Structure 1
C-alpha cells in the first residue's frame, strides 16, 4: 500500500502510511479564494487528478475545459506523474491543508511551522 512522506529541511518530517490519495487545499494569498487539488500516490509518482478553484482573479483563471460544479471550477490537469511536489510557505498567509482518510490538517501539524519548503513524495509505507 502507498504512503506519502513530507520532508522539511531535507529531513523526514512526517510519514503518512496507507495514504493512497489526498487533497491539498489552500487559500489564494491575494484573492482569498479556496483552491483544492486531488492527488494519487502511485509507484510512478504523485498524480494530479483534479484541480478546483472557487473563483477567478490574480492568476487563478481556470482553463477553457473547466466546468463549474458545486461552486468550484473543476478540471483534470494534464501533467505526468511527479517524483515530488515542493510546497513553499510564506508565513504571511494561511498554511497549506492536507486532507487524507477523511481528516484535514494544516501543514503545521505535519511539518515544523517555519519549515520552507516542504517536499511531498511517495514513500514506502513500511
Structure 2
C-alpha cells in the first residue's frame, strides 16, 4: 500500500502497511501516540496511547493504564482521508514513522496535513 502525505505544498509517497503518529499536547505537554493500518478501504487507527490525562485528553472508558500511559483501541472505521493541523503551541508538530523512517510534519501553526491511501499519490489524491 502507499501512504500519501500532503504537507507544505508537497506530496510525499511512502510504501507502508502501517505507520505511527505521535505529538505533544499543547497545554499538558503529554505525548499522544497512535498506530494506523494502511488498507485498501483507507487508513484505520488500531492502537493508541495517551501518556497522561487532562485538557481534552481523557482516555476512553475501556483504556488500560500501563507504565507508559493509557492504552486503548480506537473504534473508528477506515478513513478515506485524515486531516491534521498543528497549533504551533507545542514546540513541534507531528512525528510520522513508517518502520524506522520518521518525518517531522506540521510544526508551523496553520500548516494543514492530509493523509490518504492510494496506488499513486497525486496532489488531488
User: Could you tell me the TM-score, scaled by structure 2's length?
Assistant: 0.85
* CA positional deviation for 1:24: 0.4
Aligned twin of 1:82: 79
Distance 2:67 2:97 in 1: 19
Distance 2:93 2:86 in 1: 7
Contact 1:22–1:38 (CA<8 Å) still a contact in 2? Answer: yes
Residue ranges of structure 1 left out of the alignment (5+ in a row): none
* CA positional deviation for 1:122: 0.5
Q: Kindly tell me the number of residue pairs found equivalent between the two proteins.
A: 120
Distance 2:26 2:85 in 1: 12
Contact 2:43–2:117 (CA<8 Å) still a contact in 1? Answer: yes
Distance 2:110 2:58 in 1: 29
Say whether 1:39 aligns with 2:36: yes
Distance 1:113 1:14, change over 3 A: farther
Contact 2:96–2:104 (CA<8 Å) still a contact in 1? Answer: yes
Find the residue that maps to 1:22 and give its secondary structure: strand
Contact 2:26–2:87 (CA<8 Å) still a contact in 1? Answer: no
Residue ranges of structure 2 left out of the alignment (5+ in a row): none
User: Could you tell me the TM-score, scaled by structure 1's length?
Assistant: 0.85
5 Å-filtered alignment, 1:1-126, equals 2-8=1-7, 12-16=10-14, 18-93=15-90, 94-107=92-105, 116-124=111-119
Distance 1:54 1:114 in 2: 23
